[in-house]
Structure 1
């Protein structure tokens, strides 16, 4: 047992002490977080250890509310005197903040009754892996990638582990917490030299180490993807169908999720702000979230305001059902919270999603490529110019060119553009969504986007 976990109730005591200190300092309401975390990461290169990192910390955060004003502060000093000073500072800051009458904690009757993560399987109970074991995993991934002819070098091979415990307490009577773990293996491989150099990667993350692919599988996949990019060149310019590979297709849905986020809607900064009850996806598609999926990365029993999370449809049969809301944005819009609040140690709650799933299609990616005829398969993207108010979309992209329904060569250094409202209405989904993702989305075909290449 590590020093961080020596007292299982330490975080509970810290969070509740912060709330008590805030009330004594003059706060009307307060909520607090106490978090302990430890992580270790190993990077190898050329068959040897390149970098080893380990971090341990216990951090605390406090939010106070006074007459419609709020302030949030954080610290890594959790002595009794530091907590008292922190509370006094937060109260002084809140008294200078602007008034927002929508601010306030949940009523006691709204609070979740389940206050731990029992049944969600988000924490691996096995002992923390030794650095030597992580190094072995990284070395095996690197060796597998290097074993493939044509791979010139490995940019990085990594194995890492993290464990995080959180406890939240509030002056409305809420007190609860849970832990989560993460295991990661990744590899970045390179082929070619100089201006002809191309790289690609593979990586996986799981709550439980036993659910990870082997390092060899990850290394070989990184090599396969990298070699496929050899000889990449710019595509032609014009209007073409674009297939977003499952590695990047979730980014399209992430833009939709941003547009239905209550914070954006309340500010009027969403291209979907007038579309409640309107069609935003093809009629056969449903977009849902389930914070209770066992073993998934963003599963949680309650949100950052102590409300019980629950599965819900964001879009049903293509029709937008509602916004993603915390308490404050719900009050601004005259609605009820969807129990979607998330927050950091020194920030106020804001809406966020948990474990999003898009309806899959019934054909494979190869069949979608055959349907395209001529167009672009996008496997990676960089940079972004997204107009949150209009939905105008432009991003740098790389991937593969398709002629006569077959991939002919790799492409790079191009820009793809369109309007998200129009793009999302033309979606055709494959059946290849990967599990264990926070946003589980298959490959998606979009008709009629603009490609700017050669």
Structure 2
């Protein structure tokens, strides 16, 4: 099948052609994705162009189900012969896969009726930005960081743009698709030299270019954060309260989201597997998912199985309300899908989250720092050792040491540890959550964790 890049319906035809080929090859059921993506990335350094990248192309993916078995394949070749070969290969692979009686497409009555995303406003209807414009944005951000006294160099300044269109079709009659755009700008600044070198960054991404902060704001923020890191040293060792800055607090909630994922629950590999209907966060705290937020980067009108997405409470007033499910995990657990399926071109659907919001608190971050007295503010983390079955938690961290309710000095090279169940039940939220994030979480104070430093 030939594909004209100017043809707006080419993805629909490709996806539906894959379904036809799968049926001819002997599949009982099938679903297919066709994706058209293009991206531009510009890196600058020392006032000049460091690297420019551009990628574009169409890729297709097919999942077939036959006799309770499934297989998925993908290709960048979307000619007629390639599609027929893909379908035959997928069916042959599926026949060798293990049987899972919970597999299967949605009943047609379950499918979303709205099959586009125009009402979500997640694709900017504007010409692709010129590479020279992106380079100018990156250079302005770099210059803003370098203009701040004490910044030795900018390690990287990047501006990028992406446009992605997808179409999902299935043998149960579903056929729908939508586009998504993204604009991003980031800066990594450095202060000091040798063993005294410290770095930090600032970066933002949006659906619409107009919603991005200016390059000067991003560059200045990267510089401010970097200079605050100068002279970092190890903190004391002991049990202390820890404040997760809003830059990293979403990772803490991310562990809770992993624990309520239906895949982990179905395997019995979650530390929350017995806690449905139990308290998992402090009273008064909600955790909401809303995939229908206009102009948000991870909004979507339907999931990867064609079910209509909707807002739902994962945690209400501290109490766990339900698991995050796709069709297969829902069937395994005797529950309905939460329309949370996500998939890649060559992978089966898996439960996933989009646009999660944690209840904000009444206190500012300085209020919580004053309240903690002595402890650690974490602004960056690296590495992770998290036991998904027990909730035991350990991560490398850097940030600022607090004495007498005030930031005393920057710290690095330390480890923080605790148990997620106990940590989450002590949370106190600040009022500083930032918008436009896929997981919108304020700074979070956690009592009684272990800090391993000097």
Distance 1:63 1:330 in 2: 19
Following the alignment from structure 1 to structure 2, what is the Cα–Cα distance between the partners of residues 407 and 117?
Answer: 45
Give per-residue Cα distances to partners, 1:354-374, cap 9 Å, x unaligned.
100000001110000000100
Provide the rounded CA distance (Å) in 2 between the counterparts of 1:311 and 1:158.
34
1:328 aligned partner: 328
Asked whether the 8 Å contact 1:31–1:171 carries over to 2, the reply is yes
Measured at CA, do residues 4 and 254 of structure 1 come closer, stay the same or move farther in structure 2, by a change above 3 Å?
farther
Determine the structure 1 residue equivalent to 2:297: 297
* Alignment gaps of 5+ in structure 2: none
The within-5 A match list for 1:400-415 is 400-415=400-415
Correspondence for 1:16: 16
Determine if contact 1:286/1:318 at 8 Å carries over to the other structure. yes
Q: Secondary structure at the match of 1:156?
A: strand
Contact 1:141 1:219 in 2 (8 A): yes
Superposed, 1:38-437 pairs within 5 Å as: 38-437=38-437
Q: Distance in 2 between matches of 1:428 and 1:381?
A: 20
- Cα offsets for 1:345-389 (capped at 9, x unmatched): 000000001100000001110000000100000000000000000
Q: Residues 4 and 36 of structure 1 are in contact (CA less than 8 Å); yes or no, is this contact kept in structure 2?
A: no
Q: Displacement of 1:5 after TM fit?
A: 4.5
Q: 1:125: Cα distance to partner?
A: 0.7
Distance change in 2, residues 1:5/1:212 (3 Å) = farther
1:137 to partner: Cα distance: 0.1
Offset at residue 16 of structure 1 (A): 0.1
Distance between the aligned counterparts of 1:186 and 1:209, measured in 2? 14
**Aligned partners of 1:429 and 1:442 also within 8 Å:** yes
Residues 223-272 of structure 1: per-residue CA shift (max 9 Å, x gap): 00000000000000000000000000000000000000000000000000
Q: 1:386, 1:393 within 8 Å by CA — same for their partners in 2?
A: yes
- Report the TM-score when normalising by structure 2: 0.99
What is the CA distance between 1:119 and its match in structure 2? 1.1
Q: In structure 1, what is the equivalent of residue 441 of structure 2?
A: 441
Count of aligned residue pairs for this structure pair: 452
Q: The residue matched to 1:301 in structure 2 has which SS?
A: coil
- Distance of 2:355 and 2:339 partners within structure 1: 14
Secondary structure of 2:159 counterpart: strand
Q: TM-score of the superposition, structure 1-length normalised?
A: 0.99
Q: Distance between the aligned counterparts of 1:296 and 1:5, measured in 2? A: 27
Kept after mapping to 2: 8 A contact 1:303/1:339: yes
- TM-superposition CA deviations, 1:191-242 (whole Å, max 9, x none): 0000000000000000000000000000000000000000000000000000
In structure 1, C-alpha distance between the alignment counterparts of 2:118 and 2:260, rounded to whole Å = 30
- CA displacement at 1:27 relative to structure 2: 0.1
Q: Distance in 1 between matches of 2:165 and 2:119?
A: 16
Does structure 2 retain, via aligned residues, the 8 Å contact 1:4–1:58?
A: no
Q: 1:297, CA displacement in angstroms?
A: 1.2
Secondary structure, counterpart of 2:253 in structure 1: helix
Alignment partners' CA distance in 2, 1:197 and 1:121: 43
Shift, 1:4, TM fit: 7.2
Report the Cα distance in structure 1 between the residues aligned to 2:284 and 2:413, rounded to whole angstroms: 34
User: Could you say what the CA RMSD is over the residues aligned between the two structures, in angstroms?
Assistant: 0.7
- Once residues 366 and 19 of structure 1 are traced to their aligned partners in structure 2, the CA distance between those partners, rounded to angstroms, is 57
Residues 319-353 of structure 1, C-alpha deviations (whole Å, 9 max, x = no match): 00000000000000000000000000000000001
